[in-house]
Structure 1
Amino acid sequence: MRIKPTLFWIVTICLLALAAPAAAQTCPCAEPPPVIEQLVPEVIASFPHDSGSFTQGLLLHDGTFYESAGEYGNSDVRQVTIETGEVIRQVDLNEQIFAEGLTLVDDHLIQLSWRENIAIVWDLATFELLGRYLYETEGWGICYDGEQIYMSDGSSNLFVRDPQTFRLLAMLPVTQNGVPVRNLNELECVGDHVYANVWQANTIVRVQKTTGYVDAVIDASNLVNQEPSVLTELSPMATAMAQSATPQPGVMLTPSRAVLNGIAYNPDSDTYYLTGKLWSTVYEVRLVPAGS
Protein backbone atom coordinates (compact mmCIF):
# COMPACT_ATOMS: atom_id res chain seq x y z
CA MET A 1 0.00 0.00 0.00
CA ARG A 2 1.33 3.42 -0.89
CA ILE A 3 0.93 6.16 1.71
CA LYS A 4 0.31 9.65 0.45
CA PRO A 5 3.22 12.01 1.27
CA THR A 6 1.04 14.35 3.37
CA LEU A 7 -0.32 11.48 5.44
CA PHE A 8 3.18 10.01 5.79
CA TRP A 9 4.53 13.21 7.33
CA ILE A 10 1.55 13.61 9.65
CA VAL A 11 2.00 10.05 10.96
CA THR A 12 5.78 10.49 11.27
CA ILE A 13 5.49 13.73 13.25
CA CYS A 14 2.92 12.18 15.59
CA LEU A 15 5.14 9.15 16.25
CA LEU A 16 8.17 11.33 16.91
CA ALA A 17 6.18 13.43 19.32
CA LEU A 18 5.09 10.33 21.21
CA ALA A 19 8.59 8.89 21.33
CA ALA A 20 10.38 12.07 22.39
CA PRO A 21 10.87 12.75 26.11
CA ALA A 22 8.41 15.19 27.55
CA ALA A 23 9.87 18.68 27.76
CA ALA A 24 8.91 21.16 30.39
CA GLN A 25 5.87 23.09 29.25
CA THR A 26 4.61 26.53 30.05
CA CYS A 27 1.09 26.23 31.42
CA PRO A 28 -1.44 27.88 29.10
CA CYS A 29 -4.29 29.97 30.47
CA ALA A 30 -7.37 30.74 28.41
CA GLU A 31 -9.55 31.78 31.33
CA PRO A 32 -10.05 35.46 32.17
CA PRO A 33 -8.32 36.71 35.35
CA PRO A 34 -10.47 36.31 38.48
CA VAL A 35 -11.73 39.01 40.79
CA ILE A 36 -9.04 39.30 43.45
CA GLU A 37 -9.97 38.88 47.09
CA GLN A 38 -8.36 41.25 49.58
CA LEU A 39 -7.54 39.39 52.79
CA VAL A 40 -5.76 40.14 56.05
CA PRO A 41 -4.41 37.86 58.80
CA GLU A 42 -6.47 37.78 61.98
CA VAL A 43 -4.16 36.78 64.83
CA ILE A 44 -5.37 33.87 66.96
CA ALA A 45 -2.17 33.16 68.88
CA SER A 46 1.50 34.02 68.87
CA PHE A 47 4.55 31.93 69.71
CA PRO A 48 8.23 32.72 70.30
CA HIS A 49 10.60 32.42 67.35
CA ASP A 50 14.39 32.44 67.21
CA SER A 51 15.21 36.02 66.18
CA GLY A 52 18.58 34.81 64.93
CA SER A 53 16.97 32.56 62.33
CA PHE A 54 16.98 33.99 58.81
CA THR A 55 13.81 32.04 58.00
CA GLN A 56 13.68 30.75 54.42
CA GLY A 57 11.25 27.86 54.74
CA LEU A 58 8.66 26.79 57.30
CA LEU A 59 6.39 23.75 57.47
CA LEU A 60 4.18 22.00 60.01
CA HIS A 61 4.29 18.24 60.54
CA ASP A 62 3.02 16.14 63.45
CA GLY A 63 2.70 19.09 65.79
CA THR A 64 6.14 20.63 65.28
CA PHE A 65 7.75 23.09 62.89
CA TYR A 66 10.50 22.23 60.47
CA GLU A 67 12.45 25.30 59.41
CA SER A 68 15.20 26.21 56.99
CA ALA A 69 17.44 29.10 58.08
CA GLY A 70 19.61 30.89 55.54
CA GLU A 71 22.66 33.12 55.09
CA TYR A 72 26.20 32.00 54.37
CA GLY A 73 27.79 30.64 57.52
CA ASN A 74 24.46 30.48 59.38
CA SER A 75 22.37 28.09 57.31
CA ASP A 76 20.75 25.07 58.92
CA VAL A 77 17.73 22.79 58.97
CA ARG A 78 15.92 22.43 62.29
CA GLN A 79 12.92 20.96 64.07
CA VAL A 80 11.25 23.37 66.47
CA THR A 81 8.68 23.15 69.27
CA ILE A 82 5.76 25.41 68.35
CA GLU A 83 4.80 26.57 71.84
CA THR A 84 8.27 27.51 73.08
CA GLY A 85 10.36 28.03 69.95
CA GLU A 86 12.88 25.57 71.37
CA VAL A 87 15.06 23.83 68.80
CA ILE A 88 14.62 20.07 69.14
CA ARG A 89 17.39 19.19 66.70
CA GLN A 90 19.42 21.00 64.10
CA VAL A 91 21.96 20.29 61.38
CA ASP A 92 24.25 23.11 60.28
CA LEU A 93 25.08 23.38 56.60
CA ASN A 94 28.42 23.98 54.95
CA GLU A 95 29.27 27.68 55.27
CA GLN A 96 29.39 27.98 51.48
CA ILE A 97 25.69 27.05 51.18
CA PHE A 98 22.91 29.62 51.57
CA ALA A 99 19.84 27.60 52.55
CA GLU A 100 16.44 28.49 51.14
CA GLY A 101 12.98 26.86 51.01
CA LEU A 102 12.00 23.59 52.66
CA THR A 103 9.30 21.00 51.96
CA LEU A 104 8.31 17.51 53.07
CA VAL A 105 7.90 14.69 50.53
CA ASP A 106 6.82 11.40 52.10
CA ASP A 107 9.52 10.56 54.66
CA HIS A 108 12.16 13.08 53.65
CA LEU A 109 12.76 16.82 53.61
CA ILE A 110 13.98 18.71 50.56
CA GLN A 111 15.91 21.90 51.28
CA LEU A 112 16.84 24.34 48.53
CA SER A 113 19.98 26.45 48.22
CA TRP A 114 20.06 29.98 46.83
CA ARG A 115 22.79 30.04 44.16
CA GLU A 116 24.47 26.68 44.69
CA ASN A 117 21.99 24.87 42.39
CA ILE A 118 21.49 21.96 44.76
CA ALA A 119 18.52 20.64 46.71
CA ILE A 120 19.55 18.73 49.82
CA VAL A 121 17.54 15.66 50.84
CA TRP A 122 17.26 14.87 54.56
CA ASP A 123 15.71 11.88 56.32
CA LEU A 124 12.76 13.24 58.30
CA ALA A 125 13.24 10.95 61.30
CA THR A 126 17.02 11.23 61.70
CA PHE A 127 18.13 14.32 59.70
CA GLU A 128 20.58 12.00 57.96
CA LEU A 129 21.77 13.32 54.60
CA LEU A 130 20.19 11.14 51.90
CA GLY A 131 21.32 12.84 48.71
CA ARG A 132 21.04 15.85 46.47
CA TYR A 133 19.17 17.04 43.40
CA LEU A 134 20.54 19.52 40.88
CA TYR A 135 18.67 22.39 39.23
CA GLU A 136 19.65 25.30 37.00
CA THR A 137 17.88 28.31 38.50
CA GLU A 138 18.26 30.03 41.83
CA GLY A 139 16.37 28.35 44.65
CA TRP A 140 13.93 30.41 46.73
CA GLY A 141 10.71 28.69 47.83
CA ILE A 142 9.35 25.16 47.56
CA CYS A 143 6.20 23.23 48.48
CA TYR A 144 4.66 19.82 47.75
CA ASP A 145 0.95 19.23 47.22
CA GLY A 146 1.02 15.43 47.43
CA GLU A 147 1.48 15.06 43.68
CA GLN A 148 3.91 17.69 42.42
CA ILE A 149 6.56 20.03 43.74
CA TYR A 150 6.26 23.77 43.15
CA MET A 151 9.42 25.86 43.30
CA SER A 152 10.22 29.57 42.99
CA ASP A 153 13.41 31.33 41.96
CA GLY A 154 12.59 34.97 42.70
CA SER A 155 11.10 35.57 39.26
CA SER A 156 7.42 35.66 38.32
CA ASN A 157 7.41 31.93 37.52
CA LEU A 158 6.69 28.80 39.49
CA PHE A 159 8.47 25.62 38.41
CA VAL A 160 6.56 22.35 38.63
CA ARG A 161 8.77 19.34 39.38
CA ASP A 162 8.51 15.60 39.80
CA PRO A 163 8.76 14.80 43.54
CA GLN A 164 10.77 11.61 43.01
CA THR A 165 13.31 12.80 40.43
CA PHE A 166 13.10 16.61 40.71
CA ARG A 167 12.73 16.69 36.93
CA LEU A 168 11.19 19.91 35.62
CA LEU A 169 7.67 19.21 34.33
CA ALA A 170 6.26 22.66 33.61
CA MET A 171 6.68 26.36 34.20
CA LEU A 172 3.75 28.37 35.54
CA PRO A 173 3.83 32.15 34.97
CA VAL A 174 2.17 34.00 37.86
CA THR A 175 0.14 37.11 37.04
CA GLN A 176 -2.10 39.53 38.89
CA ASN A 177 -4.64 41.18 36.59
CA GLY A 178 -2.34 40.37 33.68
CA VAL A 179 0.80 41.77 35.34
CA PRO A 180 3.64 39.37 36.24
CA VAL A 181 4.21 39.06 39.99
CA ARG A 182 7.96 39.07 40.59
CA ASN A 183 10.00 38.12 43.65
CA LEU A 184 7.95 35.02 44.50
CA ASN A 185 9.62 33.63 47.59
CA GLU A 186 8.61 31.09 50.27
CA LEU A 187 5.74 28.81 49.21
CA GLU A 188 2.97 26.77 50.83
CA CYS A 189 0.75 24.38 48.88
CA VAL A 190 -2.86 24.36 50.10
CA GLY A 191 -5.56 22.61 48.07
CA ASP A 192 -5.84 24.11 44.58
CA HIS A 193 -3.53 27.01 45.43
CA VAL A 194 0.05 27.94 46.12
CA TYR A 195 0.54 30.69 48.69
CA ALA A 196 3.66 32.75 48.01
CA ASN A 197 5.46 35.39 50.03
CA VAL A 198 6.49 38.30 47.84
CA TRP A 199 10.05 39.22 48.78
CA GLN A 200 10.54 42.72 50.23
CA ALA A 201 6.77 43.12 50.50
CA ASN A 202 4.16 42.91 53.22
CA THR A 203 2.01 40.68 51.06
CA ILE A 204 1.31 37.04 50.31
CA VAL A 205 -0.38 36.09 47.05
CA ARG A 206 -2.69 33.12 46.57
CA VAL A 207 -2.00 31.54 43.18
CA GLN A 208 -4.25 29.17 41.24
CA LYS A 209 -2.21 26.09 40.38
CA THR A 210 -3.99 25.51 37.06
CA THR A 211 -3.78 29.05 35.66
CA GLY A 212 -1.08 30.93 37.55
CA TYR A 213 -3.60 33.66 38.29
CA VAL A 214 -3.47 35.44 41.63
CA ASP A 215 -6.99 35.28 43.09
CA ALA A 216 -6.25 36.70 46.54
CA VAL A 217 -3.76 39.12 48.09
CA ILE A 218 -3.09 38.93 51.82
CA ASP A 219 -1.84 42.20 53.32
CA ALA A 220 0.16 41.25 56.41
CA SER A 221 1.21 44.79 57.33
CA ASN A 222 -0.38 44.34 60.76
CA LEU A 223 2.17 41.61 61.51
CA VAL A 224 5.14 43.37 59.92
CA ASN A 225 4.45 46.52 61.93
CA GLN A 226 4.69 44.57 65.20
CA GLU A 227 8.20 43.26 64.55
CA PRO A 228 11.07 45.41 65.91
CA SER A 229 13.59 43.65 63.65
CA VAL A 230 11.91 45.10 60.56
CA LEU A 231 13.28 48.51 61.60
CA THR A 232 16.54 47.40 63.21
CA GLU A 233 17.59 45.21 60.27
CA LEU A 234 17.47 47.93 57.61
CA SER A 235 20.29 47.57 55.11
CA PRO A 236 21.56 49.84 52.31
CA MET A 237 21.12 47.06 49.75
CA ALA A 238 17.55 46.26 50.82
CA THR A 239 16.64 49.95 50.90
CA ALA A 240 18.11 50.58 47.45
CA MET A 241 16.33 47.57 45.98
CA ALA A 242 13.01 48.60 47.50
CA GLN A 243 13.37 52.15 46.21
CA SER A 244 14.42 51.13 42.69
CA ALA A 245 11.89 48.32 42.21
CA THR A 246 9.08 48.80 39.73
CA PRO A 247 5.84 49.04 41.73
CA GLN A 248 3.57 46.02 41.57
CA PRO A 249 -0.17 46.22 42.16
CA GLY A 250 -1.09 46.04 45.83
CA VAL A 251 2.53 45.59 46.98
CA MET A 252 4.10 47.62 49.79
CA LEU A 253 7.87 47.22 49.74
CA THR A 254 9.88 46.67 52.92
CA PRO A 255 13.48 48.02 52.84
CA SER A 256 14.68 45.54 55.46
CA ARG A 257 16.43 42.20 55.73
CA ALA A 258 13.75 41.14 58.23
CA VAL A 259 11.02 40.61 55.67
CA LEU A 260 7.82 38.62 55.97
CA ASN A 261 8.79 35.06 55.04
CA GLY A 262 7.47 31.71 56.23
CA ILE A 263 4.04 30.14 55.71
CA ALA A 264 2.87 26.89 57.29
CA TYR A 265 -0.71 25.62 56.97
CA ASN A 266 -2.57 23.66 59.66
CA PRO A 267 -5.34 21.64 57.94
CA ASP A 268 -6.85 20.58 61.27
CA SER A 269 -7.73 24.15 62.26
CA ASP A 270 -7.67 25.76 58.80
CA THR A 271 -5.19 28.29 60.14
CA TYR A 272 -1.80 29.54 58.98
CA TYR A 273 1.46 30.15 60.81
CA LEU A 274 3.27 33.24 59.53
CA THR A 275 6.69 34.61 60.45
CA GLY A 276 9.65 36.42 58.92
CA LYS A 277 13.40 36.51 58.66
CA LEU A 278 14.92 37.38 62.04
CA TRP A 279 11.46 37.75 63.58
CA SER A 280 10.90 37.08 67.27
CA THR A 281 7.37 35.76 66.76
CA VAL A 282 5.38 33.19 64.80
CA TYR A 283 1.74 34.19 64.40
CA GLU A 284 -1.11 31.73 64.06
CA VAL A 285 -3.76 33.45 61.94
CA ARG A 286 -6.99 33.07 60.05
CA LEU A 287 -7.29 34.79 56.70
CA VAL A 288 -10.34 37.04 56.69
CA PRO A 289 -11.71 39.68 54.27
CA ALA A 290 -10.07 43.08 54.65
CA GLY A 291 -12.28 45.49 56.55
CA SER A 292 -14.32 42.76 58.22
Structure 2
Amino acid sequence: MKNKIIFLILILLFILTYPVSALETETVTELNYQVIESYRHDPKAFTQGLEIFDNNLYEGTGLYGKSSLRKLEIKSGRILDKINLSSDYFGEGITILNNKIYQLSWKENIAFVYDLNFNLIKKINYSGEGWGLANDGKYLIMSNGSEYLYFRDPDTFELAKKIKVRTKDRLIKNINELEYQNGFIYANIWQTDYIIKIDAASGKVSAYLDLSGILKTDYTGEINVLNGIAYDSTNKTFLVTGKLWPKIYRIKIID
Protein backbone atom coordinates (compact mmCIF):
# COMPACT_ATOMS: atom_id res chain seq x y z
CA MET A 1 0.00 0.00 0.00
CA LYS A 2 2.84 2.35 0.90
CA ASN A 3 4.53 1.74 -2.46
CA LYS A 4 1.25 2.43 -4.26
CA ILE A 5 0.84 5.76 -2.48
CA ILE A 6 4.41 6.76 -3.33
CA PHE A 7 3.81 5.80 -6.96
CA LEU A 8 0.63 7.91 -7.14
CA ILE A 9 2.44 10.87 -5.59
CA LEU A 10 5.23 10.59 -8.18
CA ILE A 11 2.68 10.47 -11.01
CA LEU A 12 0.95 13.56 -9.63
CA LEU A 13 4.24 15.44 -9.33
CA PHE A 14 5.13 14.51 -12.91
CA ILE A 15 1.80 15.82 -14.19
CA LEU A 16 2.16 19.09 -12.29
CA THR A 17 5.75 19.76 -13.29
CA TYR A 18 5.87 18.28 -16.80
CA PRO A 19 7.76 20.75 -19.03
CA VAL A 20 5.45 21.28 -22.00
CA SER A 21 7.54 21.51 -25.14
CA ALA A 22 4.92 20.32 -27.59
CA LEU A 23 1.48 21.78 -28.21
CA GLU A 24 -2.02 20.65 -27.57
CA THR A 25 -2.63 21.08 -31.26
CA GLU A 26 -6.38 20.60 -31.01
CA THR A 27 -6.68 23.96 -29.21
CA VAL A 28 -4.37 25.96 -31.49
CA THR A 29 -4.84 26.87 -35.16
CA GLU A 30 -2.44 25.18 -37.56
CA LEU A 31 -1.01 27.41 -40.27
CA ASN A 32 -0.15 26.19 -43.74
CA TYR A 33 3.00 27.15 -45.58
CA GLN A 34 4.53 26.98 -49.03
CA VAL A 35 8.21 26.42 -49.76
CA ILE A 36 9.30 29.11 -52.23
CA GLU A 37 13.03 28.39 -52.55
CA SER A 38 15.89 26.64 -50.82
CA TYR A 39 19.47 27.84 -50.42
CA ARG A 40 22.78 26.40 -49.37
CA HIS A 41 23.54 26.47 -45.65
CA ASP A 42 26.84 25.59 -44.00
CA PRO A 43 26.23 22.10 -42.55
CA LYS A 44 28.82 22.83 -39.85
CA ALA A 45 26.85 25.82 -38.55
CA PHE A 46 25.08 25.00 -35.28
CA THR A 47 22.42 27.63 -35.87
CA GLN A 48 21.28 29.57 -32.82
CA GLY A 49 19.90 32.77 -34.35
CA LEU A 50 18.95 34.22 -37.74
CA GLU A 51 18.09 37.75 -38.79
CA ILE A 52 17.75 39.54 -42.12
CA PHE A 53 19.09 43.09 -42.25
CA ASP A 54 19.74 45.24 -45.33
CA ASN A 55 19.12 42.23 -47.64
CA ASN A 56 21.78 40.10 -45.97
CA LEU A 57 21.37 37.22 -43.55
CA TYR A 58 23.03 37.36 -40.14
CA GLU A 59 23.58 34.12 -38.26
CA GLY A 60 24.76 33.28 -34.76
CA THR A 61 26.13 29.78 -34.21
CA GLY A 62 26.79 27.79 -31.06
CA LEU A 63 28.91 25.05 -29.45
CA TYR A 64 32.01 25.69 -27.38
CA GLY A 65 34.99 26.29 -29.64
CA LYS A 66 32.73 26.70 -32.71
CA SER A 67 30.52 29.67 -31.86
CA SER A 68 30.49 32.54 -34.33
CA LEU A 69 28.69 35.54 -35.75
CA ARG A 70 28.29 35.61 -39.52
CA LYS A 71 27.02 37.82 -42.31
CA LEU A 72 25.83 35.81 -45.31
CA GLU A 73 24.66 36.36 -48.85
CA ILE A 74 21.23 34.76 -48.78
CA LYS A 75 20.98 33.02 -52.13
CA SER A 76 24.53 31.66 -52.33
CA GLY A 77 25.15 31.08 -48.63
CA ARG A 78 28.53 32.78 -49.11
CA ILE A 79 30.06 34.12 -45.91
CA LEU A 80 30.64 37.87 -46.29
CA ASP A 81 31.97 38.45 -42.79
CA LYS A 82 32.60 36.30 -39.74
CA ILE A 83 34.04 36.47 -36.25
CA ASN A 84 34.58 33.58 -33.86
CA LEU A 85 33.75 33.75 -30.18
CA SER A 86 36.25 32.70 -27.57
CA SER A 87 36.05 28.99 -26.81
CA ASP A 88 34.78 29.96 -23.33
CA TYR A 89 31.46 31.05 -24.85
CA PHE A 90 28.56 29.11 -26.32
CA GLY A 91 26.88 31.53 -28.74
CA GLU A 92 23.09 31.83 -28.77
CA GLY A 93 20.39 34.06 -30.30
CA ILE A 94 21.06 37.29 -32.21
CA THR A 95 19.12 40.38 -33.26
CA ILE A 96 19.84 43.78 -34.81
CA LEU A 97 18.41 46.98 -33.32
CA ASN A 98 19.48 50.60 -33.89
CA ASN A 99 22.35 49.44 -36.12
CA LYS A 100 23.77 47.28 -33.34
CA ILE A 101 24.08 43.50 -33.35
CA TYR A 102 23.24 41.73 -30.09
CA GLN A 103 24.36 38.16 -29.42
CA LEU A 104 23.58 36.10 -26.33
CA SER A 105 25.66 33.41 -24.69
CA TRP A 106 24.14 30.25 -23.24
CA LYS A 107 25.40 29.90 -19.66
CA GLU A 108 28.03 32.63 -19.48
CA ASN A 109 25.60 35.46 -18.56
CA ILE A 110 27.09 37.75 -21.22
CA ALA A 111 25.51 39.54 -24.17
CA PHE A 112 27.84 40.88 -26.86
CA VAL A 113 27.05 44.15 -28.62
CA TYR A 114 28.70 44.83 -32.00
CA ASP A 115 28.50 47.49 -34.66
CA LEU A 116 27.52 46.42 -38.18
CA ASN A 117 31.18 45.79 -39.02
CA PHE A 118 31.42 43.22 -36.21
CA ASN A 119 33.51 45.46 -33.98
CA LEU A 120 32.76 44.71 -30.33
CA ILE A 121 31.19 47.75 -28.63
CA LYS A 122 30.62 46.28 -25.20
CA LYS A 123 29.57 43.27 -23.16
CA ILE A 124 26.47 43.29 -20.96
CA ASN A 125 25.81 41.00 -18.00
CA TYR A 126 22.49 39.29 -17.36
CA SER A 127 21.35 36.49 -15.08
CA GLY A 128 20.13 33.08 -16.23
CA GLU A 129 20.57 31.27 -19.49
CA GLY A 130 20.37 32.92 -22.90
CA TRP A 131 18.48 31.17 -25.72
CA GLY A 132 16.64 33.16 -28.40
CA LEU A 133 16.69 36.88 -29.15
CA ALA A 134 14.55 39.27 -31.21
CA ASN A 135 13.34 42.87 -30.99
CA ASP A 136 10.14 44.84 -31.51
CA GLY A 137 11.85 48.09 -32.48
CA LYS A 138 11.99 49.25 -28.87
CA TYR A 139 12.92 46.32 -26.65
CA LEU A 140 15.07 43.25 -26.97
CA ILE A 141 12.94 40.12 -26.56
CA MET A 142 14.75 37.18 -24.98
CA SER A 143 13.98 33.56 -24.19
CA ASN A 144 15.78 31.29 -21.72
CA GLY A 145 14.07 27.92 -22.20
CA SER A 146 11.30 28.65 -19.73
CA GLU A 147 7.67 29.64 -20.36
CA TYR A 148 8.60 33.34 -20.15
CA LEU A 149 9.72 35.88 -22.71
CA TYR A 150 11.66 38.85 -21.36
CA PHE A 151 11.56 42.39 -22.77
CA ARG A 152 14.82 44.20 -22.03
CA ASP A 153 16.19 47.69 -22.50
CA PRO A 154 18.73 47.51 -25.38
CA ASP A 155 21.19 49.87 -23.65
CA THR A 156 21.19 48.47 -20.12
CA PHE A 157 19.56 45.03 -20.52
CA GLU A 158 17.32 45.92 -17.60
CA LEU A 159 14.03 44.04 -17.55
CA ALA A 160 11.07 46.14 -18.71
CA LYS A 161 8.44 43.38 -18.59
CA LYS A 162 7.90 39.69 -19.15
CA ILE A 163 5.06 37.64 -20.60
CA LYS A 164 4.04 34.05 -19.95
CA VAL A 165 3.59 31.92 -23.09
CA ARG A 166 0.61 29.60 -23.02
CA THR A 167 -2.14 27.99 -25.00
CA LYS A 168 -5.66 27.93 -23.60
CA ASP A 169 -4.78 25.22 -21.07
CA ARG A 170 -1.01 24.75 -20.88
CA LEU A 171 2.21 26.66 -20.42
CA ILE A 172 4.72 26.30 -23.24
CA LYS A 173 8.36 25.84 -22.29
CA ASN A 174 11.56 25.25 -24.28
CA ILE A 175 10.96 28.43 -26.29
CA ASN A 176 14.08 28.92 -28.37
CA GLU A 177 14.89 31.07 -31.44
CA LEU A 178 12.66 34.13 -31.89
CA GLU A 179 11.47 36.50 -34.60
CA TYR A 180 9.16 39.49 -34.12
CA GLN A 181 6.76 40.58 -36.84
CA ASN A 182 3.77 42.89 -36.68
CA GLY A 183 2.74 42.35 -33.07
CA PHE A 184 3.54 38.65 -32.98
CA ILE A 185 6.58 36.65 -31.92
CA TYR A 186 7.40 33.53 -33.93
CA ALA A 187 9.36 30.99 -31.89
CA ASN A 188 11.00 27.64 -32.39
CA ILE A 189 10.16 25.08 -29.72
CA TRP A 190 13.35 23.20 -28.94
CA GLN A 191 13.39 19.51 -29.86
CA THR A 192 10.24 19.82 -31.98
CA ASP A 193 9.41 20.72 -35.58
CA TYR A 194 7.00 23.42 -34.41
CA ILE A 195 7.14 27.18 -34.79
CA ILE A 196 4.53 28.93 -32.69
CA LYS A 197 2.93 32.34 -33.23
CA ILE A 198 2.69 34.27 -29.95
CA ASP A 199 0.75 37.45 -29.27
CA ALA A 200 3.51 39.80 -28.10
CA ALA A 201 1.19 41.63 -25.73
CA SER A 202 -0.54 38.73 -23.98
CA GLY A 203 1.75 35.73 -24.51
CA LYS A 204 -1.13 33.69 -25.92
CA VAL A 205 -0.22 31.18 -28.62
CA SER A 206 -2.57 31.88 -31.50
CA ALA A 207 -1.26 29.45 -34.12
CA TYR A 208 1.54 27.09 -35.03
CA LEU A 209 3.46 25.70 -38.00
CA ASP A 210 4.44 22.05 -38.24
CA LEU A 211 7.63 21.91 -40.34
CA SER A 212 8.28 18.19 -39.95
CA GLY A 213 9.55 16.80 -43.23
CA ILE A 214 10.62 20.15 -44.68
CA LEU A 215 14.28 19.11 -44.86
CA LYS A 216 14.70 17.20 -48.10
CA THR A 217 18.28 16.29 -48.92
CA ASP A 218 20.57 13.38 -49.68
CA TYR A 219 23.15 14.83 -47.28
CA THR A 220 24.54 12.03 -45.11
CA GLY A 221 26.27 14.07 -42.39
CA GLU A 222 25.02 14.92 -38.91
CA ILE A 223 21.73 16.83 -38.78
CA ASN A 224 20.30 18.34 -35.60
CA VAL A 225 16.98 19.96 -34.70
CA LEU A 226 14.97 22.67 -36.45
CA ASN A 227 16.14 26.08 -35.22
CA GLY A 228 16.37 29.45 -36.91
CA ILE A 229 13.70 31.79 -38.25
CA ALA A 230 14.07 35.20 -39.92
CA TYR A 231 11.41 37.43 -41.48
CA ASP A 232 12.09 39.00 -44.88
CA SER A 233 10.01 42.17 -45.10
CA THR A 234 10.81 42.72 -48.79
CA ASN A 235 8.61 39.83 -49.89
CA LYS A 236 6.80 38.88 -46.67
CA THR A 237 8.39 35.45 -46.36
CA PHE A 238 10.41 33.66 -43.69
CA LEU A 239 13.76 31.90 -43.85
CA VAL A 240 13.96 28.77 -41.69
CA THR A 241 16.72 26.25 -41.06
CA GLY A 242 18.13 23.97 -38.38
CA LYS A 243 21.30 23.19 -36.48
CA LEU A 244 23.82 21.58 -38.86
CA TRP A 245 21.31 21.65 -41.71
CA PRO A 246 22.69 21.85 -45.27
CA LYS A 247 19.67 23.89 -46.42
CA ILE A 248 17.82 27.10 -45.62
CA TYR A 249 14.22 27.29 -46.81
CA ARG A 250 12.26 30.35 -47.81
CA ILE A 251 8.61 29.79 -46.89
CA LYS A 252 5.42 31.76 -47.21
CA ILE A 253 2.95 31.34 -44.36
CA ILE A 254 -0.64 30.95 -45.44
CA ASP A 255 -2.69 32.39 -42.59
TM-score normalised by L of structure 1: 0.76
Q: Distance in 2 between matches of 1:101 and 1:164?
A: 17
SS in 2 for 1:222: coil
In structure 2, the residue matched to 1:58 is 50
Query: What CA distance in whole angstroms lies between the structure 1 residues aligned with 2:143 and 2:217?
Result: 26
Residue 129 in structure 1 maps to residue 120 in structure 2: yes
Residue-by-residue CA offset, 1:248-272 (whole Å, 9 max, x unaligned): xxxxxxxxx6111111101121100
Unaligned runs of 5+ in 2: 1-26
C-alpha deviation, 1:228, in angstroms: 5.9
1:1-292 aligned at under 5 Å gives the runs 36-124=28-116, 126-224=117-215, 226=216, 233=222, 258-288=224-254
For residues 162 and 173 of structure 1, the distance between their equivalents in structure 2, rounded to whole angstroms, comes to: 18
Cα gap change, 1:227/1:164 in structure 2, threshold over 3 Å: closer, same or farther?
Answer: farther
Matching residue's letter, 1:274: V
Shift in Å, 1:115: 0.2
Counterpart CA distance in 2 for 1:40 and 1:102 is: 27
Shift of 1:68: 0.2
TM-score (norm 2): 0.86
Amino acid at match of 1:261: N
**Alpha-carbon distance between aligned partners in 1 of 2:99 and 2:235, rounded to the nearest angstrom:** 23
8 Å Cα contact 1:227/1:279 also seen in 2:
no
RMSD: 1.5
Who wins on radius of gyration, i.e. which is larger? 1
TM-superposed deviation, 1:88? 0.7
Pick closer, same or farther for the CA change 1:169–1:83 going to 2, 3 Å.
same
In the alignment of these two chains, the number of paired residues is: 229
The residue number in structure 2 matching 1:242 is none
Evaluate the alpha carbon distance shift between residue 155 and residue 227 of structure 1 in structure 2; reply closer, same or farther with a 3 A threshold: farther
> In structure 2, what residue type is equivalent to 1:42?
Q
Counterpart Cα distance in 2 of 1:199 and 1:77: 21
Q: 1:40·1:220 contact (CA, 8 Å) conserved in 2?
A: no
Q: Give a deviation string over 1:132-187, Cα, whole Å, max 9, x none.
A: 11111100000011011110001111011112221111121100122011100000
CA distance in 1, matches of 2:190, 2:217: 16
Q: Secondary structure at the match of 1:179?
A: coil
For 1:265, the aligned partner's letter is Y
The 1:46–1:178 alpha-carbon spacing in structure 2 relative to 1, beyond 3 Å, is same
Distance in 2 between the 1:149 and 1:228 partners? 38
C-alpha distance in 2 between matches for 1:189 and 1:137: 22
Could you tell me which amino acid in structure 1 is paired with residue 243 of structure 2? K
Secondary structure, counterpart of 2:224 in structure 1: coil
Partners of 1:120 and 1:40 lie apart in 2 by: 36
Q: 1:186 to 1:228 in 2, by over 3 A?
A: farther
Corresponding letter in the other structure for 1:266: D
